[in-house]
Amino acid sequence: MLKKCWVIFLMFLNCKVWAVNTYDPATGLLKLDAVVVNDTQFNDVQVKLNAIDVLKIGSSQAYGEVTASCSDGNLSLEHFNAITQGMSLGQVKQIIGCTYTPSLTVADGNTSRYTWDGGLKYLVVIFDAAGNNVTKDSVFKIRAGF
Q: Is residue 63 part of a domain?
A: no
Give CA–CA dist 95/75, Å, rounded: 10
Q: Is residue 98 part of a domain?
A: yes
Give CA–CA dist 89/16, Å, rounded: 28
Whether residues 17 and 80 fall in one domain: no
Whether residues 27 and 87 fall in one domain: no
Whether residues 77 and 34 fall in one domain: no
The answer to whether 100 and 93 have CB atoms below 8 angstroms apart is yes
* Radius of gyration for the alpha carbons in the chain, expressed in angstroms and rounded: 18
Q: What CATH number is attached to the domain comprising 101?
A: 3.30.1450
Going by C-alpha positions, the residue among 10, 17, 20 that lies closest to residue 36 is 17
Whether residues 35 and 76 fall in one domain: no
pTM, rounded to two decimals = 0.60
Q: Is residue 94 part of a domain?
A: yes
Per-residue pLDDT of the chain in tens (146 residues, 90 and over written 9): 444 433 344 344 444 434 467 888 888 888 887 777 777 777 888 888 887 676 666 656 566 689 999 999 899 999 999 999 999 999 999 999 999 999 999 999 999 999 999 999 999 999 999 999 999 999 999 999 99
The answer to whether 37 and 14 have CB atoms below 8 angstroms apart is yes
Domain count, the chain: 2
The answer to whether 95 and 74 have CB atoms below 8 angstroms apart is no
Whether residues 77 and 137 fall in one domain: yes
Q: Is residue 55 part of a domain?
A: no
What is the domain range of residue 109? 72-144
Q: Is residue 6 part of a domain?
A: yes
Measured CA to CA in angstroms, residue 4 lies from 32, 39, 76 at distances of 18, 22, 31
| Confidence (pLDDT) at 45 | 84
| Confidence (pLDDT) at 43 | 80
Q: Is residue 33 part of a domain?
A: yes
| Confidence (pLDDT) at 34 | 75
Q: How many Cβ atoms are within 10 Å of 46's Cβ, its own excluded?
A: 9
Whether residues 30 and 81 fall in one domain: no
| Confidence (pLDDT) at 92 | 96
